[in-house]
Structure 1
Amino acid sequence: MKKSLLILGLAVTLFSCNKNEGGATEFKTAYVDTQKLMDDSEALKDLNSRSNVKGEELKRELNDEYQKLRLDYAKAQDEAPRRGAQWVQAKAQEFQEREQKLSMMQDGMMRQLQEEFAPQRDSIVEEMRAYIKDYGKKNGYDYIYGTGDSANVLYAKDSYEITEEIITAVNAKFKGENPDAVKTEEKATEVKAETTEKEEAAK
């Protein structure tokens, strides 16, 4: 049984090779610079801006608490010589507890930012992936590769890059515009520019 499966598998492989040799299939491929897509995405820029604003608000709140702690500590140092060892020990314990609470408060703020904005970021990235997949289907691509930090393309001709098209489309979608209409308008502008160049060259 195993031998017959092995022979069948070999036959299928040979058939596939012969088929490819008989008529090589051409694939339509392209690639997207994923890092540039992330950097130029209006949706992610907006999200990062809102995240930074919220982060600054929380940071100010935390700094106010640390400032209170520093002022109380300075005041306690002035009073220490008149208060005695027992008071100093109690104050030291109090300041240690307050510092620990502020450290926990800082960790909590970081978690708050993460919990609020990380899912939104994931959602935006997922929408981009879905758009690229849909773009590939609509435009007849067999493969669209990604480059950037998580690169899986070691080399590709510049003519295969469609990063700018994708950036324009996803940003148009974020602004509530029709990505296909924007693409058509840009294509018309390109054709017009090419026609003008040809006319000037003919003169």
Structure 2
Amino acid sequence: MKQILSILFAVAVLASCKQGASEGTGGQSSGRIVYVNTDTLLNNYDLYKDVVNEFQNKQFALENELKKKSESFQNEVALFQRRIQAGGMTQQQGETTQQQLQKKEQDILLYRDNAASGLAEDQAKQTDEILTNIQAYLEKHNEDDRYDMVIGFSKGGGVLYAKNNLEITTEVLEGLNKEYADKKDGKKSEAKSDSTATK
């Protein structure tokens, strides 16, 4: 997930080139470009960490559920084979049970595919939410029109070199984490007031 976000963020450039920001003659833009180190940002952005943890928990739960379904199915198959070998089934019963087992196997595979697809969709939505939050914050952060462009920098990405004094990762990260903490606190206090109201 981190690689996907790094690539998306490096490509997603916030270009707020406002005509009013000018330097010198001819009303040209000041050309102030800064960057955010996406690797550092993603490693330390609390929303991203929570999303990754949530996704890993869902993935782990799905894997456990599939393992249980698979083990249960294997036990049924083993029981069926023992009963066939012991002669405890008629040919018709054997064929019916075999068809039921095949259907059960198909259902497990279909469930696995649908669950994996649902997880992938969920991951795509959350990735979009993270990028949207970052871009929205950068727009607010640049309300005073200090920058014409904020680019994403990551090792091995499109930007091979940038001066350290152009990096704004720390201030962006602090702002994003504060904004996220405030949102979480707001949701907690809403949940408390809702539970108090229902008592």
**How does the TM-score come out when normalised to structure 2?**
0.66
Q: Does 1:94 align with 2:90?
A: no
Q: Does 1:127 align with 2:133?
A: yes
Aligned 1:109-120 pairs, distance under 5 A? 109-120=115-126
> For 2:75, which of 50, 71, 78 is the aligned residue?
71
C-alpha distance in structure 2 between counterparts of 1:149 and 1:112, whole Å: 31
2:32 maps to a residue whose letter is K
Q: Is the contact between residue 42 and residue 171 of structure 1 (CA under 8 Å) also seen in structure 2?
A: yes
Which residue does the alignment assign to 2:193? none
Which residue does the alignment assign to 2:164? 158
C-alpha distance in structure 2 between counterparts of 1:58 and 1:35, whole Å: 28
C-alpha distance in structure 2 between counterparts of 1:138 and 1:120, whole Å: 29
Aligned 1:160-175 pairs, distance under 5 A? 160-175=166-181
Unpaired segments of 5 or more residues in structure 1?
Answer: 1-19, 178-203
> For 2:38, which of 34, 38, 43 is the aligned residue?
34
Q: Is the contact between residue 30 and residue 162 of structure 1 (CA under 8 Å) also seen in structure 2?
A: yes
1:145 maps to a residue whose letter is I
Identical residues among aligned pairs (%): 25
Shift of 1:128: 0.5
C-alpha distance in structure 2 between counterparts of 1:142 and 1:25, whole Å: 8
Shift of 1:96: 1.9
C-alpha distance in structure 2 between counterparts of 1:25 and 1:97, whole Å: 66
Q: SS in structure 1 opposite 2:142?
A: helix
- Count of residues in correspondence between the two structures: 158
1:66 maps to a residue whose letter is S
Judging changes above 3 Å, is the alpha-carbon distance between structure 1 residues 170 and 21 closer, same or farther for their aligned structure 2 residues?
Answer: closer
1:110-166 residue CA offsets vs partner (Å, 9 max, x unmatched): 233334453233122101111112223436112222223894423211221111221
Q: SS in structure 1 opposite 2:34?
A: strand
Of structures 1 and 2, the one with the larger relative CO (CA 8 A, separation 6+) is: 2
Shift of 1:40: 2.0
Q: Is the contact between residue 30 and residue 148 of structure 2 (CA under 8 Å) also seen in structure 1?
A: no
Larger radius of gyration: 1
Q: Is the contact between residue 80 and residue 87 of structure 1 (CA under 8 Å) also seen in structure 2?
A: no
1:60-98 residue CA offsets vs partner (Å, 9 max, x unmatched): 322222111011111111111213555444333322221
Q: Does 1:56 align with 2:60?
A: yes
Q: Is the contact between residue 33 and residue 163 of structure 1 (CA under 8 Å) also seen in structure 2?
A: yes
Q: Is the contact between residue 37 and residue 167 of structure 1 (CA under 8 Å) also seen in structure 2?
A: yes
Which residue does the alignment assign to 1:107? 113
**How does the TM-score come out when normalised to structure 1?**
0.65
